[in-house]
Chain A
Amino acid sequence: MDFFPFLVTQCLNALSQAALLFFLGVGLTLIFGIMRIVNFAHGSFYMLGAFIGYSVARGTGSFWAGLVLSPLIAGGFGTAFEIGLLRRLYRRDASAFLMVTFGLTLVLGEVVRLLWGVQGLQLQLPTALAGIVFLFDEPFPVYRLFLIGAGAVVAIAIWQFLERTRLGLLIRATSQNAEMVQALGVDVNLVRSGIFGVGCGLAALGGVLAAPMVTASLGMAANAIVDAFVIVIIGGMGSFPGSLCAALLVAFVQVFGTYYFPDFAIAAMYLLMLLVLVIRPGGLLGKEA
């Protein structure tokens, strides 16, 4: 393979990986931005998304149905969890949230084990996405291109939503000063429940999209939560553009790092995080720097 085709292929690989990392990180960072809580169960929603997506796709015979319904179901469950449990804890300190959301990861892990079993499950791609395109005479999966497109669409949608809509304005305002927004007559609790659901839904969307590449498995949750935290920390806690930059940065460092220094594959991401934290302790676009 010549250098130029190699570069293009690797960049596309990195972009598709960035899309998956972005879905994972953006939900967590949105939740943190608004609620100042660390949702430890984020990885579990990612895993749940993959399994629900699998079942819906199998039940309806349509991958697309799984792709749409799974985030909705997981998001609805997230909202219910916020209303039912988290809402009672806002006066407590952060450790209460850690305990409760960590408890949820254990519960969800067991639920998935009981409902779907311990074996990995393959989410079949529709024919349209299972194909390949030839880039410089080398086959490249259509699905990876689809991931890049989906990542871009979701990123633009969230950005427009936050910048252009009234609800987006409320969300940004709540993240800056919740008491003031409340004093102005806005039901902050509703915003919080909504955004928690959206965050969980985004994680689930990431899970469905990742499932055809990694198979839906119980190990997904633990893996994903680490990645999600790294993205959020590098990007800056609560920063939406930060999570996008961080996903891109991590994906490129991983893909090229793994290629040139395979022995340090696992360390690349953490070294990057260390470097960012040394230079900007609040993350790339974080406010607390």
Chain B
Amino acid sequence: MAKRFDASRRTIVKSAAAAALVPAMPRPAFSVEPIRIGMPAALTGPVAGVGAQMRRACEFWAKQVNAKGGLLGRPVELIISDTEGNPAIAVRKAQEMVERDGVRILTCIVVSNEALATVPRLAEWDTIFVSGDNGDGRLTGESLVPNFFRPNVSGPMGTRAVSLYLRDSPMKNFYGLGMDYAWGHNSMEVFEAECKRADKKFTGAVFSPMGTKDFSTYITRIRQSGADGVYLVLSGDDNAAFLSQAKQYRLGDKVQLLTELVDQMTINATGDATVGLIGGSRYPYTYDIPANKAFVAAWQAVYHTLPDMFEGDQYQSCIVLQAGIEKAGSTEAAKLRAALEGLEVDSIKGRVIMRACDHQGEQQGFVTKIVKREGMEHPVPEVIATYPANRITPPCNKMVYDD
């Protein structure tokens, strides 16, 4: 017994020494306090796939920054914790990060409901939250708080890109299928308003509960609607299930499937079921500008895959945050807020302007169509239209557009 105990103690001592050495290696470069960025991210549950993307983007960015000597001479340290996509857990985890780990910057909150639950606490925590993917229009509308910033494309902006595309399309009647929670309803309202403005007919919408597996009834309803286009606001497993079943029912032969967002994760999960789908993209990796090409190449060198939509969008948010911290010369909330307001950054999607009035990043919008491309294992989103920032971004604090 004594011998075994001794051996294990020695192992513990050894591994403790090793553990102490590992973080000590890069230390000499940064003898200062790291910049701790809190990421209360949904890493399990129905949106785990999105959470994994956003986390990768943050880690990729942090590695890039630290390789160049950090920010303001300080290393970036990511504090990551799983929220399961649950707003109550997200708030608790964020609070732990603020109170226990000394975090003053948050990002990578995956679900809009989690973000909506978190923002009212930001002032009390004296913390800035830079959204990486949160789409709910209210975050820069009625629920806007001074410490919240959204460099990513919002839900209404995603819908707007698609609706601008629709104005020129020959389709006349539209129907909607959305997920039965904040994002689904919010985006559908925007789409309905856009349909009216484009002089198209919106014949109704149906909402499926999160976690729906059998979409046959919804497919029947879509068919019966007689619409020539159906607008989908689905994500994650639900989206994959709907697209697989829609293909099995040959729904696309009769109705053009349109969606707010098309991401590679869904394309990979559903294969050819996505071909022909038209949708907005928060970040199409096929976008052909030098900054993006460099990003895609660097990404591929590390991960051997193409950067997906939420990876690109979250990465852009990180770039904006980085520019803000550099301009502020500080991570204090008041200074960082002042620096972020009105900040202009050239990112992988082109120019982003963090307008001061509602903290929404003004940027261009993309519409893509899923096509099969020679030599690619999976179908890819091809950019079929881009719209300038001034047409994509809604008026300040609004979720609907004037024209």
| A residues adjacent to B (C-beta < 8 A) | 1, 6, 9-10, 13, 16-17, 20, 109, 118-122, 124, 130, 132, 138-141, 143-144, 210, 212-215, 217-220, 222-223, 254-256, 258-259, 262-263, 265-266
Question: Which residues of chain B are near A109, meaning CB under 8 Å?
Answer: 44
The number of inter-chain residue pairs (CB within 8 angstroms) is 115
Question: Which residues of chain A are near B11, meaning CB under 8 Å?
Answer: none
Tell me whether B249 and A124 are in contact (CB under 8 A).
no
Residue of A nearest to B212 (CB): A265
Tell me whether B211 and A121 are in contact (CB under 8 A).
no
CA distance A16 to B249 in the complex (A): 14
- Contact A214 to B241, CB < 8 A, known contacts A119-B268, A262-B207: yes
| B170 CB to nearest chain A CB (Å) | 24
CA distance A25 to B217 in the complex (A): 22
Question: Which residues of chain B are near A220, meaning CB under 8 Å?
Answer: 237
Tell me whether A10 and B48 are in contact (CB under 8 A).
no
CA distance A139 to B249 in the complex (A): 6
Q: From DSSP, what is the main secondary structure of chain A's interface residues?
A: helix
Tell me whether B240 and A138 are in contact (CB under 8 A).
no
Tell me whether A120 and B209 are in contact (CB under 8 A).
no
Tell me whether A213 and B248 are in contact (CB under 8 A).
yes
Question: Which residues of chain B are near A214, meaning CB under 8 Å?
Answer: 213, 237, 240-241, 244
A-B contact pairs, 27 of them (CB 8 A): A1-B223, A6-B224, A9-B220, A10-B220, A17-B216, A118-B49, A118-B52, A119-B269, A120-B265, A120-B269, A122-B269, A132-B248, A138-B223, A139-B249, A140-B249, A141-B248, A143-B248, A213-B214, A213-B241, A215-B244, A217-B237, A217-B269, A254-B214, A258-B217, A262-B208, A265-B209, A266-B209
| B residues adjacent to A (C-beta < 8 A) | 44-46, 48-49, 52, 180, 206-209, 211-214, 216-218, 220-221, 223-224, 236-237, 240-241, 244-245, 248-250, 253, 265-266, 268-271, 273
CA distance A6 to B124 in the complex (A): 56
Question: Which residues of chain A are near B271, meaning CB under 8 Å?
Answer: 122, 124
Question: Which residues of chain B are near A139, meaning CB under 8 Å?
Answer: 249-250, 253
Tell me whether B241 and A215 are in contact (CB under 8 A).
yes
Most chain B CB neighbours (cut-off 10 Å) among A6, A20, A215 = A215
With A215-B240, A258-B218 known, 7 other A-B pairs at CB within 8 A are A13-B216, A119-B265, A120-B269, A132-B250, A139-B253, A144-B248, A214-B241
Question: Which residues of chain B are near A118, meaning CB under 8 Å?
Answer: 48-49, 52
CA distance A139 to B208 in the complex (A): 22
CA distance A140 to B216 in the complex (A): 10
- Contact A219 to B45, CB < 8 A, known contacts A144-B248, A214-B213: yes
CA distance A124 to B44 in the complex (A): 25
CA distance A20 to B48 in the complex (A): 25
CA distance A219 to B48 in the complex (A): 9
